[in-house]
Amino acid sequence: MSASSTVGTESSPETATAPSETGSTWPRGVLLVVFVVGLALRMASAALPERLLTRITVDDAFYYLRTAQELGLGNGSTFDGINSTNGYHPLWLWMLTPFTSVFGPGTGTVRLLILLQAAIAAATFLLAARLLLRWLPPLAVALGFAVWWLTPISVLSSVSGVESSLACLMVVLLITAAFRYVDSPSRWSAVVLGAVAGLAFLTRTDTAFASAAVVVWVVVQVRTRPLRTLAAQAASAALAGLVVVLPWLVWNLATFGTIEQASTRARPMVLWQLQTGDATPRFAEASNAALSYLVDDWLGDLGWSPLLALGAMIVALWAWRRFGFQKGQTRRLLLLAVLLLGSGTLLAAFHSGVRLLAREYYFEWVRMAVGILVAAAVAGLVSAMASTATPESRTARLHRANLCLCLLTGATTLLASAATVQYLRDPPFGWQMSMVEAGRWLEEHTDPNERIVSFNSGLIGYFSQRPVINLDGVVNNASLAALEERQLARYICDSGAKWYVDFDPVVLEEYRPFLGGDEPRLNLDRVTTIRGDGADRYGRSELEVFRLSCGPP
């Protein structure tokens, strides 16, 4: 076995050939083990008992499933069958519409949804690995991808029921299109790059941060080419992206008078009210919130403990500076990974500072960038160290490096997999089991046409299959308007709802500043308290079911 079959030397951008192979397949076998273990963990999530299954699938996933049902039934873009909404990322909703039409509602569909996400995550891994293996040795890729693919936060985010896994796939396709354009520049490859960026935007709006990082990387790579040619190709890319996203933006503007999704501002408005007494973001408070998140939580949300994540980044940067990697694909990959990580950090600052809401599944593509960074840094470090050795010691040094990489990958796989299994045994969102039971209670005790109002309405609406009107504005533009006008109590009374279901008193206390002068009209008579088997409280409240009536204006 030649040492070059594992670590080897890197190629130049001009040759762009993968490290040479001499018949040895075990390094790729290590990468395959990482892939299989990660895929098995994701697929196993679909087989969890319902009490755990509904804790790994976030409430927003059921907004998607219910809205997709209504869209498939021909009722338009609505969660409750009554009110229109744009509170979603469209590509994921469009993908789920035929899915829900074929399989219908129920827990079985949720399991199939997780399997669909596992398949998307697998495609993401394979496409990213295929791209990196053109230039990096398999063991370096295996270690980098173990750092990304196997961590609990990555596994749970990629089977959360929302668009995170699809967004990560789109970022991989965007990176692939960027390499194709840089290596084979043409107007057509520019069009493909722009179109993929547009599709990524439709998958998750904030992938615009990833697109910005990729654009900066492309500009660095092609900066010496004729300006006129680059301008024409840039215009083609921009036009292609605009063609992809324009119908969605025009529909929003024509239907709701804005291109902004309801889900973008609904919850942040309430959080700002609770924090500052004003629903409008303030620069000083936003900066402080972003800084606090970046210091306290960001490194942990990248998948590993903050100390380990920070240490890995410091080692990577030290190695880059110390050994001055050969000019080649490793250097290009490192630059791309650093740019993606930087743009992801800006994204985290935006969500935590401006929106006061940074959820782990927003950042799956950023965690993938960490994996690429580790893979490229390890490959470049070993290659640079080998290049400083004498011919007699080079082979022995590379063999030792291969052994170390194999052991590190194995240890990472074991530790991350064990942590993920522990998370799957006790997932977050323990209160969601009560929401499932509330949905089933409503299905049994209410008429199919009786209207229900709720702030946390995803699981309740899906499992009741009743018209559950969303009050927090995430998937109901009418209630969002009522919140902005601080007339939510009037909206509730005008809705014709007979039931109110939520975690109280904590939820109504949060929204009291938005109820308005009609709050005294609301009459809530408690019917039952629901607590799923082993479910947690939400805040300090149980899930309550109330009969709702309204007094005269």
CA dihedral 323, 326, 328, 329 (to 10 degrees): -30
Say yes or no: 439 and 378 in one domain: no
Same domain, 99 and 185: yes
Assigned domain for 288 exists: yes
**What is the Cα–Cα distance from 500 to 248, expressed in whole angstroms?**
33
Per the confidence metrics, is the pTM higher than 0.85? yes
Instruction: Say yes or no: 421 and 455 in one domain.
Output: no
Q: Do 169 and 318 share a domain, yes or no?
A: yes
Let me know if residue 401 belongs to a domain.
Answer: no
Residue 177 belongs to a domain: yes
* Residues 440 and 372 both lie in one domain: no
Q: Do 180 and 144 touch, CB atoms closer than 8 A?
A: no
Report the domain count for the chain.
2
Shared-domain flag, residues 360 and 445 = no
Number of other CB atoms surrounding residue 366 within 10 Å: 25
Indicate if 53 and 77 belong to the same structural domain: yes
d(CA 167, CA 121): 10
- The residue from 425, 443, 471 where one domain ends is 425
Please tell me the predicted confidence (pLDDT) of residue 388. 67
Q: What pLDDT sits at residue 27?
A: 87
Mean pLDDT, 10 residues at a time, the chain of 553 residues: 40 40 71 97 96 94 97 96 97 96 92 97 98 93 94 94 97 98 95 98 97 97 92 97 98 96 92 87 92 89 69 65 60 89 95 93 95 87 72 75 89 92 91 94 96 97 97 97 96 97 92 95 96 76 95 92
- pLDDT for 307 equals 59
- Tell me whether residue 480 is in a domain: yes
**Domain contains 22:** no
In-domain check, residue 412: no
Q: Residues 289-297: contacts with CB within 8 Å, 24+ apart?
A: 289/352, 289/353, 289/356, 290/348, 290/349, 290/350, 290/352, 290/353, 290/354, 291/353, 292/352, 293/348, 293/349, 293/352, 293/353, 293/358, 294/345, 294/348, 294/349, 294/352, 297/352, 297/358
Domain span at residue 309 reads 40-263+270-275+284-388+417-425
Do 160 and 205 have their domain in common?
yes
Look at residues 425, 454, 470 and tell me which one is the last residue of a structural domain: 425
Residue 94 in domain: yes
Q: Please indicate, yes or no, whether residues 421 and 451 belong to a single structural domain of this protein.
A: no
From 369, 401, 425, give the residue that closes a domain. Answer: 425
In a domain, 410, yes or no: no
Does residue 518 share a domain with residue 377?
A: no
> Residue 505, preceding bond cis, omega within 30 degrees?
yes
Same domain (yes/no): 303, 450:
no
110/214 same-domain check: yes
